[in-house]
Amino acid sequence: MPLLLGLCCLLFAPAQAQPEPDVIEVLKRLQGSWQIEFQEENGEKLSEDDLKGRSVLFGKDAMFTRRGNIVTQISRLKLDPGKMPATANAVIMQGKNKDEVMLGIYALEGDTLKLCFDTAGQQRPKEFKTTPKSGLLLIICKRVLAKPDEKDLTGDYRSETIELNGTKHISEVNIERIGDAYMVTYKKNKAVAYVGIGLRKGEIFCMSWLSQGQVGVTIYEIDKMGRLNGQFTILGGPGVLGQEILTRMKGDV
């Protein structure tokens, strides 16, 4: 199965049981890209040249290891932050050792992440180190940070949509980080009205969305106050642009 097709199968697999609340919080903190700054396997360190371009991406409960723009392995994570040290099982979905389970431990401190796995899945590591013939892999990652003045998009917002005739529609919006993308959920009267998926580039945020059979796209400019000022259009429509403003809910900064 090609890697891209395998990725689609992974992302659109049937829904699994919802993780425990503490696991959900850890997964939220992991979302996005992490640069690998140190890697050691069986006591041998990877050189600085070999480390260039190596990164890890976390999206939902999936872990993607990358070299440049190429995904070399996809795993589904099962975390237990209640253990000492916290444990991580990586079920390999695509790439080397497919269908195997790597037993591991992790430590997440601020923007630094340590992962240590037994690549053969024989015995869980007890500490963050490897030795010759141990079968252990240790990586230390740093979060790929946004620009210092770039505001975090995640949180709750009030949406005000303005129709062509001046009619205003108000709804509640939640923006959640999923890997390097964002899931956007709109609610009215506490019921989900529609959902979208978005990408950010600097102070521009672009979202495609689906609502009651309608497909559209919205592009926002993020102002200095963290407000998202957008224009949207609908697939199959006349191409007229509607207006939307997303304003953070009070207390969610």
What is the pTM for the complete model shown? 0.79
Q: Choose among 141, 136, 147: nearest CA to 65.
A: 141
- pLDDT of 154 higher than 70: yes
Q: Is the dihedral of CA 133, 50, 60, 83 positive or negative?
A: positive
Q: What is the pLDDT of residue 14?
A: 46
Rounded to whole angstroms, the Cα distance separating 30 from 138 reads 17
pLDDT winner (highest mean) among 75-79, 117-121, 142-146, 149-153: 75-79
According to the model, what pLDDT value does residue 149 have?
74
Report the 3 state secondary structure along 76-143.
Answer: EEEEECCCCCCEEEEEEEEECCCCCEEEEEEEEECCEEEEEEECCCCCCCCCCCCCCCCCEEEEEEEE
Q: Where do the domains of the chain lie, and which CATH numbers do they carry?
A: 13-143 (2.40.128), 155-248 (2.40.128.120)
Compute CA distances 126 → 15, 38, 60, 83, 84, whole Å.
32, 19, 26, 11, 9
Residue 19: predicted pLDDT: 60
* pLDDT tens sequence across 27-77: 999 999 999 999 999 999 999 999 999 999 999 999 999 999 899 999 999
Asked if residue 4 has pLDDT above 60, the reply is no
Q: What is the three-class DSSP state of 75?
A: strand
**Average pLDDT, integer, range 143-172:** 86
- Which range is least confidently modeled, 2-16, 29-43, 85-99, 167-181? 2-16
Q: Cα(10)–Cα(3) distance, rounded to whole angstroms?
A: 10
